[in-house]
Amino acid sequence: MSITPLATYLEAMLVSVDNQSCSGLADGFHAESISHDWFQRTLKSSDVGSLYKDLVHKLKLEGGYLLLDDTILEKHTLGLEGVGKLLDTKTGGFILGLSVVLLCWSDGKKTIPLAFLPYTKGKSKHDLAVELLGQAKAWGLTPKSVLFDAWYASQKVLKTVLRLGWHVVTRLRKNRYLDGKPLKTRYTHPNWHSIGKLKGGIEVKVFRRGRKFYATSDTSLEWKMVKKLYKIRAEIEEVFRVLKQACGWQGVQQRNIQTYTHHLTFGLLAYHYLQRLKLQTHSGVFVLRRRLISRKLTLNRDDLYSFLDTAA
Mean per-residue pLDDT, 214-234 = 97
pLDDT above 80 for 82: no
What integer pLDDT is reported at residue 186 of this predicted model?
A: 87
Which of 78-87, 182-191, 201-210, 233-242 is predicted least confidently? 78-87
pLDDT tens sequence across 101-116? 999 999 999 999 999 9
For residue 120, being part of any structural domain is answered with no
Is residue 297 one of the residues assigned to a domain? yes
Q: How far apart are CA 67 and CA 227, in angstroms?
A: 15
Q: Is the dihedral of CA 172, 174, 180, 186 positive or negative?
A: positive
pTM: 0.93
pLDDT, tens only, 25-54: 999 886 567 888 999 999 998 889 999 998
- What are the tens digits of pLDDT across the range 121-131? 889 999 999 99
Q: How many structural domains does the chain have?
A: 1
pLDDT attached to residue 60: 85
Residue 88 covered by a domain: no
What's the pLDDT score for residue 79? 75
Are residues 10 and 42 in contact, defined by beta-carbon separation less than 8 angstroms?
no
Asked if residue 75 belongs to a domain, the reply is: no
Label residue 188 by pLDDT band (50, 70, 90). Answer: confident
Three-class secondary structure of residue 208 per DSSP: strand
- Domain membership of residue 107 (yes or no) is no
Residue 262 lies in a domain: yes
In a domain, 43, yes or no: yes
Q: Which one-letter DSSP state was computed for residue 74? A: E
Q: Average pLDDT of the chain? A: 92
List, in sequence order, every residue forming a beta bridge with 70; answer none if it has no partner: 101
Q: What is the mean pLDDT of residues 12-22?
A: 94
Give the per-residue pLDDT at 124.
94
Buried b (16+ CB within 10 A) or exposed e, 149-158: bbbbbbeebb
Is 279 contained in some domain? Answer: yes
DSSP classification of residue 55:
H
Q: Which domain holds residue 43?
A: 4-57+251-311
pLDDT of residue 89: 73
Of residues 189 and 133, more confidence is placed in 133
Q: Say what the pLDDT of residue 131 is.
A: 97
Q: Tell me: pLDDT of 90 over 80.
A: no
* Rounded CA separation 74/293 (Å): 23
| The pLDDT value given to residue 64 | 97
